[in-house]
Every structure is written in structure tokens, then in C-alpha cells.
């Protein structure tokens, strides 16, 4: 058994496998299939200061090797999380991380500071990259200045591990990563979904209620890997890699590209027990290759 433990800022993970926000509910939805404590951590759905209904139906379109969604950050607000959901999660022996979203700097800061008060949430993932909300998230995440402004403000209100989730819908993701590192982010996670479309030619309409959506699944993996590799060379903080990971091989690719930890997203919809299979698969690969510690292969890629 190889050593699987990794660190992201002050956060210790028992293994590098986490789940991507918006694909794993509050974890509880998957408790019949896996032992949540076997995960390095899981990231609960995007949480905003005030409740959000999200976008209208239809919100999903299947694509070759993936899917588009335009859920639009539907959630019941941070106070609902703190009062109703947190008590069900606080006893877990894994890292429960909250994905924090917003549409104004003030909302981000207030939401993050309320999460800061929860002793058993050791980190937040700051979502500055949701493509499905007007004036929200991605508006900040597409320029280095915008990204830096949110991270600077939240950093002052949040003293635990701060992971910033980056948008791939930018010209240079490495520049954005450098900007958030400079403002005190402990880590960056990437990539969020790629903006896309799908059209029903008989109805001459988009298959998504707001026209566009975020693309996820194995179809985005090559793009995600490339971006993880580019960001690895640009920053010194640890990277959390995600984008189309379906199995342990995919996860190891991200780790070799430079990710210290990974998130599994859309694959949870196909196999609700995939996370544990990836943990076991990474361990098996390391053992088979005589690697004693997963950290030895982080960023080992030779081009």
C-alpha cells in the first residue's frame, strides 16, 4: 500500500481524490454507494449568500462523451447549509469543502465568513468561474484583475484553506492563476466547465433554457490536462485538477501533469461509486510501479 496522503495548503487529505461541486450533492446522496470517509474530501454544491432558484428547465443536454448543463447555482443559501446540512456532515472523517459562489464582492465575503465559522469545514473552493449565471462568478474569473479582487476580499474574511476554482473560458488561465496566488490563494482548482451549446434542429432551438451551458465529461479532459500543465509551470501553490476524470488512469494523468489532488465530477452520474474505484486504482498503479508515495509522481511529466 503506497502512501496516498497529500496536502493542499493547511489541508491534509488521506488521498488525492475529491468530488467536484455540483456533481455530488451534499455527499449524502451517495452514502448508499460508498463510504464518504474513504474520500480525500468532497466539495458540496455551489453555495451563495441568498437562496437561488437557478435557471429554467431544460438544464441539460447530452453530448458526445459528455454533457452540457445550465443549472445556474440553484441552492438554498448559506444559512440553510449551516443550519440544515452541516449538522449532517460535521461528524464525517473526511474533508467537507464548501464551494462558495456569488455575484458581488460583498456576497462572496459574507458567504465565506459564515462558512469560516463552521469548525468542521476546513476549506472553501471559491467559484469565480460559473458560466451559467449572469453577472456572477465568471464575470470575476475571466480577468486577472477581477479574479484578484475577489480573492483579496475573501482572503481577509477567511483564514482557512482557500482554493480558487478557475474558468477555462479565458485566454490565459496561467495569468489568472498567478493573480490569485499573489492575493493569497492556497490553491487553485481547474477546470470549471467549458461554455458550449447544443441545438435541436427540428425545433430550431437550443436544448438549454438559457441558450448556452457548461460542458463537462471526458470530452473536456485534454483541455483540462493542458491547462493544469500550464498552470503548474506558472504558480507555486498546489493545484487541484479536474475535467472529465472517469477512472484512475485519468486521475494519474492529472497528477503527473501537476495536480496534487483531483476532483471527480460528471463521472459520478455514470457510476455513483466511481470515486472509490479511482482511490483504489491509484493505489494499485503506485504499488505496481514501485512508487511508495503518490507525491513522488505529482508533476513528474516530461514533455
Residue 63 or 283 having the CB closest to other proteins: 63
**Has 130 been annotated as catalytic?**
yes
Kindly name the residue from 70, 111, 130, 219 that is annotated as catalytic. 130
Rounded to a whole number of angstroms, the minimum distance from the CB of residue 107 to other proteins is 20
Largest CA distance in the chain: 56
Q: Shortest gap between Cβ of 42 and other proteins (angstroms)?
A: 11
Nearer to other proteins, 32 or 145 (CB): 32
CB of 272 to other proteins, least distance (A): 6
Residue 20 CB, nearest approach to other proteins (Å): 11
* DSSP secondary structure, 43-82, as one string: EEEEE-SS-B--PPSP-EEEETTEEEE-----B--HHHII
The residue ranges of DSSP E strands in the chain, in sequence order, are 6-8, 11-13, 17-19, 41-47, 60-63, 66-69, 95-100, 123-127, 161-165, 187-190, 194-196, 199-200, 205-206, 213-216, 239-242, 259-264
Per the CB < 8 A criterion, the answer to whether 46 and 81 are in contact is no
**Strand partners of residue 17:** 262
Chain centroid to CA 215: how far? Answer: 14
User: Which of 144, 281 has the CB closer to other proteins?
Assistant: 281
Residues that bind other proteins (CB under 8 A): 22-25, 29-30, 32-33, 45, 53-54, 57-60, 62-67, 69, 71, 74, 217, 266, 268-273
Instruction: Return the number of the residue (28 or 301) whose C-beta is nearest other proteins.
Output: 28
Enumerate the active-site residues.
130
Amino acid at each position: 500500500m503506497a502512501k496516498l496522503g497529500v496536502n493542499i495548503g493547511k489541508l491534509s487529505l488521506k488521498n488525492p481524490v475529491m468530488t467536484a461541486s455540483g456533481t455530488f450533492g451534499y455527499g449524502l446522496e451517495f452514502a448508499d454507494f460508498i463510504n464518504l470517509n474513504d474520500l480525500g474530501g468532497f466539495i458540496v454544491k455551489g453555495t451563495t449568500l441568498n437562496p437561488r432558484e437557478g435557471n429554467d428547465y431544460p438544464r441539460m443536454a447530452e453530448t458526445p462523451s459528455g454533457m452540457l448543463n445550465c443549472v445556474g447555482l440553484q441552492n438554498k443559501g448559506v444559512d440553510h447549509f449551516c443550519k440544515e446540512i452541516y449538522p449532517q456532515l460535521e461528524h464525517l472523517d473526511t474533508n467537507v469543502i464548501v464551494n462558495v459562489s456569488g455575484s458581488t464582492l460583498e456576497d462572496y465575503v459574507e458567504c465565506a465568513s459564515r462558512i469560516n465559522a463552521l469548525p468542521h469545514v476546513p476549506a472553501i473552493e471559491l467559484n469565480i468561474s460559473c458560466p451559467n449565471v449572469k453577472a456572477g462568478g465568471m464575470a470575476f474569473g475571466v480577468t486577472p484583475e477581477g479574479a484578484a479582487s475577489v480573492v483579496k476580499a475573501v482572503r481577509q474574511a477567511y483564514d482557512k484553506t482557500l482554493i480558487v476554482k478557475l474558468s477555462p473560458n479565458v485566454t490565459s488561465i496561467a495569468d489568472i492563476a498567478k493573480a490569485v496566488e499573489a492575493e493569497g490563494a492556497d490553491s487553485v482548482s481547474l477546470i470549471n466547465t467549458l461554455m458550449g451549446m447544443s441545438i435541436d434542429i427540428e425545433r430550431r432551438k437550443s436544448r438549454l433554457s438559457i441558450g448556452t451551458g457548461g460542458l463537462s465529461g471526458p470530452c473536456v479532459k485534454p483541455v483540462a490536462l493542458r491547462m493544469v500543465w500550464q498552470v503548474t509551470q506558472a504558480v507555486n501553490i498546489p493545484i487541484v485538477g479536474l475535467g472529465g476524470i472517469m477512472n484512475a488512469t485519468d486521475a494519474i494523468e492529472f497528477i503527473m501533469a501537476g495536480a496534487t489532488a483531483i476532483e471527480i465530477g460528471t463521472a459520478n452520474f455514470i457510476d455513483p461509486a466511481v470515486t472509490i474505484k479511482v482511490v483504489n486504482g491509484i493505489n494499485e498503479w503506485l504499488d505496481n510501479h514501485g512508487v511508495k508515495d503518490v507525491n513522488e509522481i505529482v508533476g513528474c511529466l516530461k514533455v
